[in-house]
Structure 1
């Protein structure tokens, strides 16, 4: 039985992963902004077999609230074996390009708050000599593109941060997993036209649980995105700038 903290527990991908954790009897501490949305998720996971599913409301953008939440999670779970960071926003690139405040707000949610939370988690786990931190990033962080470079650059910052943290924690007993999903059919992407590259939240959630269990360092999900992004990164800049990606 694992003791698992999930931040962003009402996201479609987090719910898909949490259902798998619940079915094998793990103990869950679930965090999200909306208590109204969170309580039904906790109840559902309890019915599915979770040893316990505790709901805790917090806005991750409020950096000052992170410490109290982590204290509560450690007290409730008796220690954190796995922390799964699954929240984020998909900002309007046009609005971010026009308004510096919008760009900064997108970065705060998708990068700054994640870095702050993971830093606190890493220090706590390192003190105990064990744990795993899994963070949802995105394939968008692999190369800046005109269509979503504010979001992509925030994810790139998270990727580099996690790479460095993984290096720092090597040999400490604490592992760091970077999760790089491609296009996923969730409420966050509801306004985007769907195509064959879109995966279900259930597929991505299953891949994440498998990567956590194997204590992987990086996982692309679905796996074909590793090949796609390798090709995109290899395209020369002069050619790349002629595309509409």
Structure 2
């Protein structure tokens, strides 16, 4: 079976994505910083699903290393799933440029850097799929998280353009927009249960959407309705709101 490359493989969502794809027979490259920490996940997936799992060291903010990283993959992947994410506290990002830059580089610039390389290969081979995990936060800037949201908005726009470009080559590009998800990144937040998904729910949704050839996935699905409403609030009203 073909290999899937997961970038940002240490995230809670990425681990569940790996388990879901493994159940369906796919082999893996799990790419992350300090990838040796994924050894337990590798062993678990191997024992449960009998697939090949290769750990790869990868820093999404080390742009100069991305070309050699992709070239080092002995078998090029059938698909790539980018799950890397970084969400600083908004007030911290407003005051500390390093936090703003890290947010932009992890959520947007680094993802674009590696996906440009992969997209060129997939386009030449006329095969493959790309999944990018963005966020509903990118659908409209809000004062609660507009630095993170702006990076995700840029990533969503990039994926949209990439989908348009690669369509004729038969390469699928799926934009994933999760709402609230129970992860380490959100454990300090008081999230509404009915609007909050588990990493496994998100992973199952990603697999099903990718297999069906969909373009955009909101997960949970209710977020498509919520964001449609939020996007259509007139600006003269929206700027006064705290949502």
TM-score (norm 1): 0.95
Do residues 79 (structure 1) and 98 (structure 2) align? no
Does residue 139 of structure 1 match 2:136? yes
Please tell me whether the aligned partners of residues 58 and 69 of structure 1 are also in contact (alpha carbons under 8 angstroms). yes
The CA deviation at 1:50 is 4.2
**Correspondence 1:225 to 2:223:** yes
Do the aligned partners of 1:85 and 1:136 also contact (CA within 8 Å) in 2? yes
DSSP 3-state at the match of 2:116: helix
1:147-162 equivalences in 2 (<5 Å): 147-162=144-159
Partner of 1:24: 24
Between the aligned partners of 2:45 and 2:219, the Cα distance in structure 1 is 24
1:94 is aligned to 2:91: yes
Cα RMSD between the aligned structures?
Answer: 1.2
Q: CA deviation at 1:143?
A: 0.1
Shift of 1:99: 2.5
SS in 2 for 1:10: coil
Structure 1 contact 13–201 (Cα < 8 Å) conserved = yes
Instruction: Look up the match of 1:58.
Output: 58
| Equivalences for residues 1-245 of structure 1 within 5 A | 1-73=1-73, 75=74, 78-196=75-193, 197-245=195-243
User: Number of aligned pairs?
Assistant: 242
* Cα offsets for 1:37-81 (capped at 9, x unmatched): 2211111111121420001121111111212221223x1xx2311
Q: Are the counterparts in 2 of residues 181 and 222 from structure 1 also a CA contact under 8 Å?
A: yes
Other structure's SS at 1:87 match: coil
C-alpha contact 1:19 1:48 (8 A) present in aligned 2: no
- 1:135-187 CA distances to partner (integer Å, 9 max, x unpaired)? 10000000000000000000000111111111111211211111000000000
**Structure 1 spans left out of the alignment, 5+ residues:** none
Paired residues of 2:36 and 2:55 also in contact (CA < 8 A): no
Partner of 1:120: helix, strand, or coil? helix
Q: Distance in 1 between matches of 2:214 and 2:20?
A: 18
Cα offset, 1:36, TM superposition: 3.4
After TM superposition, the score normalised by the length of structure 2 is 0.96
Separation of aligned partners in 2, 1:95 and 1:157: 21
CA contact (8 A) 2:126 2:169 kept: yes
- Whole-angstrom distance in 2 between the partners of 1:154 and 1:50: 37
